[in-house]
Structure 1
Amino acid sequence: MTIRVTLQKEGNRSRREYRTHARAIGALEKWFSSNKGIALLYQPGEQPIVYRSRHELPIVKRSTQTNFYRTKAWRELRLSILLESGCSCKICGITAERGAVLHVDHIKPRSLYPELALDKSNLQVLCEDCNIAKSNNDL
């Protein structure tokens, strides 16, 4: 779903697109904080909504969870696992030098075993194809 926004200020118009309603509203909050004008928000299958100020925008609940894969602890551990593996897939042996996209995979998936997320013995290097084929199985 694409959310389209038209911004009008002093006779000038600009158009932008967003993947989610929450992102569109967040962008409008920023825009209204330093601009005066009108914003039209278009959602597929609905009438456009006109906003004239930041105060008219709906309140959007924001996630406060940290993205695990952006944490310093994960990035440092990931790098050490890649270096120790010789940057090759444990299943098929392809390397990054041969064009493979390498992932550091949780053998026992994080979704089922969150306590093993940073356990070095639960990690392996897989190429993108092997990792996708594995999914969340620990076989």
Structure 2
Amino acid sequence: MYQVTYSLSGRVKRKRYQSETAAKRSIVRWLENMGRQVGGHAILYAPGEAPAIFRAADEVTGIPTARAPDFYQSQQWLRLRYEALQKHGNYCACCGAQGGAEVQLHVDHIKPRSTHPELALCLENLQVLCAACNRGKSNRSSTRW
């Protein structure tokens, strides 16, 4: 359990948090919202650590940043995926299965994004595979069927 003591102009408020991240985010919000009032500070009490005093929001470190937007939800990917489906058709390039109610088709990176991020949005690096073939290929193979 993490505890934070907020102090401003002789007034003190204490609050408990389940995680260090939640406590630090709250400290940052409080310090940003209280403005530049003189003497305001927050003290973070973490289990097994010495108390940490913060007088400005930029002193608080170790807060995870917001996650980057999901690549597969980006407009660039969705447009390119549509192009790949138009170019390669409604068939798995590996086993020839036709996409439909029973066969889900995936647009696959021939050279995986994990090892070739520069080819993530390259139409020539895409192929259409059924779900089973794509799972079998994983990110180990770069076979162009």
Which residue in the other structure is 1:138 paired with?
142
Q: Is residue 79 from structure 1 mapped to residue 82 from structure 2 by the alignment? A: yes
Which residue in the other structure is 1:68 paired with?
71
CA distance in structure 1 between the partners assigned to 2:71 and 2:92 by the alignment: 22
Larger radius of gyration: 2
Which residue in the other structure is 1:56 paired with?
17
Which residue in the other structure is 2:109 paired with?
106
Percentage of identical aligned residues: 42
Deviation at 1:129, TM superposition (A): 0.7
CA distance in structure 2 between the partners assigned to 1:130 and 1:110 by the alignment: 17
Normalising to structure 2: TM-score of the pair?
0.54
Q: Could you give the per-residue CA deviations for residues 60-99 of structure 1, whole angstroms, max 9, x where no partner exists?
A: 5353312111100000110111122221100111112362
| Alignment RMSD | 2.1
* Equivalent residue pairs, number: 87
Q: Could you give the per-residue CA deviations for residues 9-59 of structure 1, whole angstroms, max 9, x where no partner exists?
A: xxxxxxxxxxxxxxxxxxxxxxxxxxxxxxxxxxxxxxxxxxxxx863432
One-letter code aligned to 1:96? G
Question: Pick from 93, 100, 118: which aligns with 2:121?
Answer: 118
One-letter code aligned to 1:86? G
Normalising to structure 1: TM-score of the pair?
0.56
CA distance in structure 2 between the partners assigned to 1:126 and 1:96 by the alignment: 9
Structure 2: where are the runs of 5+ without partners?
1-14, 23-63
One-letter code aligned to 1:78? R
One-letter code aligned to 1:135? S
Name which of structure 1's ranges 103-112 and 77-86 shifts more when overlaid on structure 2. 77-86
CA distance in structure 1 between the partners assigned to 2:17 and 2:111 by the alignment: 47
CA distance in structure 2 between the partners assigned to 1:88 and 1:138 by the alignment: 19
Paired residue secondary structure (1:84): helix
